[in-house]
Protein backbone atom coordinates (compact mmCIF):
# COMPACT_ATOMS: atom_id res chain seq x y z
CA UNK A 1 0.00 0.00 0.00
CA UNK A 2 1.23 3.55 -0.65
CA UNK A 3 2.71 5.50 2.26
CA UNK A 4 0.84 8.78 2.64
CA UNK A 5 2.02 11.48 5.03
CA UNK A 6 -0.17 14.03 6.77
CA UNK A 7 1.41 17.36 7.66
CA UNK A 8 0.80 17.14 11.41
CA UNK A 9 1.19 20.69 12.66
CA UNK A 10 -2.41 21.75 13.26
CA UNK A 11 -5.93 21.07 12.12
CA UNK A 12 -7.70 17.86 11.13
CA UNK A 13 -4.62 15.64 11.32
CA UNK A 14 -6.12 12.62 13.09
CA UNK A 15 -9.20 12.69 10.87
CA UNK A 16 -7.08 12.66 7.71
CA UNK A 17 -4.89 9.84 9.08
CA UNK A 18 -7.99 7.78 9.85
CA UNK A 19 -9.59 8.52 6.46
CA UNK A 20 -6.40 7.52 4.61
CA UNK A 21 -6.16 4.29 6.58
CA UNK A 22 -9.82 3.60 5.71
CA UNK A 23 -8.89 4.18 2.08
CA UNK A 24 -6.16 1.55 2.23
CA UNK A 25 -3.02 3.66 2.67
CA UNK A 26 -0.21 3.33 5.15
CA UNK A 27 0.13 6.65 6.97
CA UNK A 28 2.71 8.80 8.68
CA UNK A 29 2.32 12.02 10.65
CA UNK A 30 4.90 14.50 9.31
CA UNK A 31 6.39 17.15 11.59
CA UNK A 32 10.05 17.12 10.55
CA UNK A 33 11.69 17.50 7.14
CA UNK A 34 13.22 14.01 7.40
CA UNK A 35 9.75 12.53 7.69
CA UNK A 36 9.05 13.55 4.08
CA UNK A 37 11.51 10.94 2.92
CA UNK A 38 10.01 7.81 1.41
CA UNK A 39 6.49 9.21 1.17
CA UNK A 40 4.36 8.34 -1.86
CA UNK A 41 2.05 11.32 -1.23
CA UNK A 42 1.16 13.93 1.36
CA UNK A 43 -1.99 15.54 2.75
CA UNK A 44 -1.89 19.17 3.88
CA UNK A 45 -4.86 19.59 6.23
CA UNK A 46 -6.96 22.60 7.09
CA UNK A 47 -6.58 24.67 10.21
CA UNK A 48 -5.37 28.24 10.04
CA UNK A 49 -3.05 28.94 7.13
CA UNK A 50 -1.08 31.66 8.94
CA UNK A 51 -0.42 29.28 11.84
CA UNK A 52 0.42 26.40 9.49
CA UNK A 53 2.84 28.57 7.57
CA UNK A 54 4.48 29.84 10.77
CA UNK A 55 4.93 26.36 12.23
CA UNK A 56 6.12 24.85 8.94
CA UNK A 57 8.60 27.69 8.54
CA UNK A 58 9.89 27.37 12.11
CA UNK A 59 10.39 23.62 11.67
CA UNK A 60 12.25 24.07 8.38
CA UNK A 61 9.53 22.27 6.44
CA UNK A 62 8.56 24.83 3.79
CA UNK A 63 11.60 24.41 1.54
CA UNK A 64 11.74 20.60 1.68
CA UNK A 65 7.98 20.41 1.17
CA UNK A 66 8.14 22.69 -1.87
CA UNK A 67 11.03 20.63 -3.24
CA UNK A 68 9.18 17.36 -2.76
CA UNK A 69 6.02 18.66 -4.44
CA UNK A 70 7.96 20.21 -7.31
CA UNK A 71 9.63 16.82 -7.65
CA UNK A 72 6.20 15.27 -8.25
CA UNK A 73 5.03 14.18 -4.79
CA UNK A 74 1.23 13.98 -5.03
CA UNK A 75 -0.60 16.35 -2.66
CA UNK A 76 -4.12 16.52 -1.30
CA UNK A 77 -4.55 19.95 0.26
CA UNK A 78 -7.72 20.90 2.11
CA UNK A 79 -8.94 24.34 3.17
CA UNK A 80 -6.01 26.11 4.87
CA UNK A 81 -3.80 23.56 3.05
CA UNK A 82 -5.08 25.00 -0.23
CA UNK A 83 -4.23 28.52 0.98
CA UNK A 84 -0.73 27.36 1.90
CA UNK A 85 -0.20 25.71 -1.51
CA UNK A 86 -1.29 28.90 -3.25
CA UNK A 87 1.76 30.69 -1.90
CA UNK A 88 1.86 34.31 -3.04
CA UNK A 89 1.32 36.75 -0.18
CA UNK A 90 0.62 33.76 2.08
CA UNK A 91 4.25 32.75 1.57
CA UNK A 92 3.58 29.03 1.46
CA UNK A 93 5.22 26.52 -0.85
CA UNK A 94 3.55 28.21 -3.83
CA UNK A 95 3.10 24.98 -5.73
CA UNK A 96 -0.32 25.95 -7.09
CA UNK A 97 -0.71 28.72 -9.66
CA UNK A 98 -3.94 30.13 -8.22
CA UNK A 99 -5.12 33.14 -6.25
CA UNK A 100 -7.37 32.56 -3.29
CA UNK A 101 -9.64 34.68 -1.16
CA UNK A 102 -9.55 33.50 2.43
CA UNK A 103 -12.72 33.18 4.49
CA UNK A 104 -14.61 33.92 1.30
CA UNK A 105 -18.02 32.69 2.37
CA UNK A 106 -18.29 35.41 5.00
CA UNK A 107 -19.20 35.26 8.67
CA UNK A 108 -22.86 34.41 8.07
CA UNK A 109 -21.83 31.33 6.14
CA UNK A 110 -18.61 30.71 8.01
CA UNK A 111 -19.55 27.07 8.32
CA UNK A 112 -21.89 24.94 6.23
CA UNK A 113 -22.29 21.47 4.86
CA UNK A 114 -23.30 20.59 1.33
CA UNK A 115 -22.92 18.01 -1.40
CA UNK A 116 -21.08 18.74 -4.59
CA UNK A 117 -19.67 16.98 -7.63
CA UNK A 118 -15.91 16.60 -7.63
CA UNK A 119 -14.31 15.66 -10.94
CA UNK A 120 -12.34 12.45 -10.57
CA UNK A 121 -14.09 11.64 -7.28
CA UNK A 122 -17.82 11.42 -7.83
CA UNK A 123 -21.21 13.07 -7.55
CA UNK A 124 -22.79 14.54 -4.43
CA UNK A 125 -19.65 14.30 -2.32
CA UNK A 126 -20.25 15.38 1.28
CA UNK A 127 -18.35 18.58 2.00
CA UNK A 128 -17.93 20.63 5.17
CA UNK A 129 -16.90 24.26 4.66
CA UNK A 130 -15.37 26.04 7.67
CA UNK A 131 -14.28 29.63 7.03
CA UNK A 132 -13.32 28.30 3.65
CA UNK A 133 -11.28 29.96 0.92
CA UNK A 134 -12.45 30.41 -2.67
CA UNK A 135 -10.15 30.20 -5.67
CA UNK A 136 -10.50 33.44 -7.63
CA UNK A 137 -7.94 32.74 -10.35
CA UNK A 138 -6.76 29.44 -11.83
CA UNK A 139 -3.54 29.44 -13.85
CA UNK A 140 -3.28 27.74 -17.27
CA UNK A 141 -1.89 24.52 -15.77
CA UNK A 142 -4.79 24.20 -13.34
CA UNK A 143 -8.19 22.63 -13.80
CA UNK A 144 -11.36 23.40 -11.88
CA UNK A 145 -12.73 20.18 -10.35
CA UNK A 146 -15.41 21.52 -7.99
CA UNK A 147 -17.64 24.58 -7.62
CA UNK A 148 -20.30 25.85 -5.23
CA UNK A 149 -22.73 28.41 -6.65
CA UNK A 150 -20.28 29.11 -9.44
CA UNK A 151 -17.38 29.65 -7.06
CA UNK A 152 -14.29 27.51 -7.46
CA UNK A 153 -13.66 25.25 -4.46
CA UNK A 154 -11.56 22.52 -6.05
CA UNK A 155 -8.53 22.64 -8.35
CA UNK A 156 -6.16 20.06 -9.77
CA UNK A 157 -2.76 21.04 -11.11
CA UNK A 158 -0.47 18.17 -12.00
CA UNK A 159 -0.22 15.94 -8.94
CA UNK A 160 -1.72 18.56 -6.61
CA UNK A 161 -5.40 18.31 -5.69
CA UNK A 162 -6.66 21.22 -3.60
CA UNK A 163 -10.10 21.54 -2.04
CA UNK A 164 -11.65 24.43 -0.07
CA UNK A 165 -13.62 22.05 2.11
CA UNK A 166 -12.98 19.32 4.67
CA UNK A 167 -13.57 15.82 3.26
CA UNK A 168 -12.07 14.30 6.43
CA UNK A 169 -14.94 15.54 8.61
CA UNK A 170 -17.64 13.44 6.95
CA UNK A 171 -18.25 9.70 6.63
CA UNK A 172 -17.90 9.98 2.83
CA UNK A 173 -14.48 8.49 2.09
CA UNK A 174 -14.52 8.96 -1.70
CA UNK A 175 -12.07 11.89 -1.77
CA UNK A 176 -9.44 9.95 0.17
CA UNK A 177 -10.11 6.76 -1.79
CA UNK A 178 -9.73 8.52 -5.13
CA UNK A 179 -6.52 10.16 -3.91
CA UNK A 180 -5.01 6.87 -2.71
CA UNK A 181 -6.06 5.21 -5.99
CA UNK A 182 -4.36 7.96 -8.00
CA UNK A 183 -1.21 7.57 -5.93
CA UNK A 184 -1.25 3.80 -6.53
CA UNK A 185 -1.32 4.22 -10.32
N1 LIG B 1 -9.82 30.38 7.28
C2 LIG B 1 -8.68 29.54 7.32
C3 LIG B 1 -7.48 30.15 6.59
O4 LIG B 1 -7.68 30.95 5.72
C5 LIG B 1 -8.96 28.17 6.75
C6 LIG B 1 -10.01 27.50 7.56
C7 LIG B 1 -9.93 26.00 7.51
O8 LIG B 1 -8.90 25.40 7.17
N9 LIG B 1 -11.00 25.39 7.94
O10 LIG B 1 -6.38 29.80 6.89
Cα–Cα separations (whole angstroms), residue 8 to 5, 16, 21, 46, 143? 9, 10, 15, 10, 27
In ligand 1, which atom is closest to the CA atom of 81?
8
Residues in contact with ligand 1 by the CB-under-6-Å rule are 46-49, 79-80, 83, 102-103, 130-131, 133
Measured CA to CA, the distance from residue 74 to residue 53 in angstroms comes to 19
DSSP 65-108: HHHHHHTT--EEEETHHHHHHH-GGG-S---S-EEEETTTTTGG
Which pLDDT belongs to residue 1? 95
Give tens-digit pLDDT for 91-149.
Answer: 566 789 999 999 999 877 689 999 999 999 999 999 999 999 999 999 999 999 999 99
Of the candidates 79, 85, 126, 176, the residue annotated as catalytic is 79
Q: Which domains does the chain have, with CATH numbers?
A: 3-184 (3.40.50.880)
Which pLDDT belongs to residue 182? 96
**How many CA atoms does the CB half-sphere of 146 hold within 13 Å?**
27
Kind and range of the H or E run holding 152: strand 151-157
Among 12, 49, 167, which residue has the most ligand 1 atoms within 8 Å of its CB, making it the best to mutate?
Answer: 49
Name which of 134, 61, 68 is nearest 101 in CA terms.
134
In ligand 1, which atom is closest to the CA atom of 133?
4
Contact status, residue 20 vs residue 55, Cβ threshold 8 Å: no
Contact status, residue 143 vs residue 83, Cβ threshold 8 Å: no
Give tens-digit pLDDT for 28-73.
Answer: 999 999 999 999 999 999 999 999 999 999 999 999 999 999 999 9
Task: Give strand pairing partners of 28.
Answer: 5
Question: ipTM exceeding 0.85?
Answer: yes
pTM for this model (two decimals)? 0.95
Q: How many CB atoms lie within 10 A of CB 57?
A: 13
Largest Cα separation within the chain, whole Å, is 43
168 annotated active-site: yes
Amino acid sequence: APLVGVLALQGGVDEHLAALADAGARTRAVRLPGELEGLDAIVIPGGESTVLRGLAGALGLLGPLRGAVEGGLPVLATCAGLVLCAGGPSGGPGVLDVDVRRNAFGPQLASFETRLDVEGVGADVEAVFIRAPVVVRVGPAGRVIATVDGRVVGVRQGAVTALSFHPELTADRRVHRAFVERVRR
